[in-house]
Amino acid sequence: MSIISTDISKAVTILSNDELVAIPTETVYGLAGNIFSEKAIKRIFETKKRPFFNPLIVHIPSVELLPTIVRYIPEKAQLLADAFWPGPVTLVLPKNSNIPDLITAGKDTVAVRIPNHPVALELLNALNFPLAAPSANPFGSISPTTAQHVNDYFKNDIKMVLEGGPCERGIESTIIGFNGDEPIIYRLGSTSIEAIEAIVGPIEIKNKKEIAPDAPGMLDRHYAPKTETILVDNLSEAIKNHSDKRIGILAINTSSEHEAIAFQIILSEATDLQEAASKLYDALHQLDKQDLDLIIAERFPDVGLGKSINDRLQRATVKA
């Protein structure tokens, strides 16, 4: 049975009834609920098995609504909003008193963005409340980039997945907080550090070990297949070292030949990082279905979106 539908008015009805709808965005599919409905927000945490200390991102349809969510907008936040919205940049700003504690995990700040997806924007414009929409996957598992991925996870838990096609960007938004008026990157994502620095100048990254960790165990397991996954610089060497196993390969741009390889995916023959990012999670979903002993992923060049892709792959390798 499928709960996938293109019916936006049906989504409006369900959401207005304090229930959840999975929605398309340009980054990944989100599990959406009315930010002002305690029932809906609790259901988001329950459905995802997400811990309550992990705050949610508020999605709005236009920048004019930002002052209804936050009480202060630093100059550089305004510059970033003007440059990237609608788009995959999330701003963490001092919250208005009407924003429920459940959304912010009790913090005094709230994360907010405008998604760049026509279906999401049409839906948000048809509602008279913003949506909280964390990725529509069980906590820690691979994020969904198609309606089918969400259907596979949650067909028994929610009423509807709003169909919006495969996500064009394919990894989560870049999250930017502020120390006073100075921006700080909290999470790498679909908007590259370089693109952000072109707008606001050199920017601090809060947790450098999250980007280039000395030991993968220092990271939170997240975005992770069930199959054991490793991230390597040298594919052919890794294949040789694991030739006694049934291997799956996630390669940047070239195919490998070895009898131990049962399945392989090339993310971008043209080495286009945006193409690779958009295909990343679907590739992990496919690899995870092949009954492999091991997934070997090739590390990307550490520039632009390559940094964000490596961040996700790194977290996918952390053992459960």
Binding at 107: pick from Mg ion, ligand AMP, none (beta carbon under 5-8 Å per type): ligand AMP
Query: 133 or 251, CB closer to ligand AMP?
Result: 133
The 3-class secondary structure across the chain, one letter per residue, is CCCEECCHHHHHHHHHCCCCEEECCCCCCEEEEECCCHHHHHHHHHHHCCCCCCCCEEECCCHHHHHHCECCCCHHHHHHHHHHCCCCEEEEEEECCCCCHHHHCCCCEEEEECCCCHHHHHHHHHCCCCEECCECCCCCECCCCCHHHHHHHHCCCCCEEECCCCCCCCCCCEEEEEECCEEEEEECCCCCHHHHHHHHCCCEECCHHHCCCCCHHHCCCCCECCCCEEEECCHHHHHHHCCCCCEEEEECCCCCCCCCEEEEEECCCCCCHHHHHHHHHHHHHHHHCCCCCEEEEECCCCCCHHHHHHHHHHHHCCCC
Chain residue whose CB lies nearest Mg ion: 135
Q: What x/- string results for residues 149 through 168 when contact with Mg ion is judged by CB under 5 A? A: --------------------
CB nearer to ligand AMP: give 44 or 294. Answer: 44
By the criterion CB under 6 A, which residues form the site for ligand AMP? Answer: 54-57, 92, 104, 107, 109-111, 134-135, 172, 175, 177, 186-187
| Smallest separation, CB 272 to ligand AMP (Å) | 24
Using the rule CB under 5 A, is 135 a contact of Mg ion? yes
**Least distance CB 222 / Mg ion (angstroms):** 7
Smallest distance, ligand AMP to C-beta of residue 92, A: 4
In the list Mg ion, ligand AMP, none, the entry touching 92 (Cβ below 5 to 8 angstroms by class) is: ligand AMP
Residue number, 99 or 296, with CB nearest to ligand AMP: 99
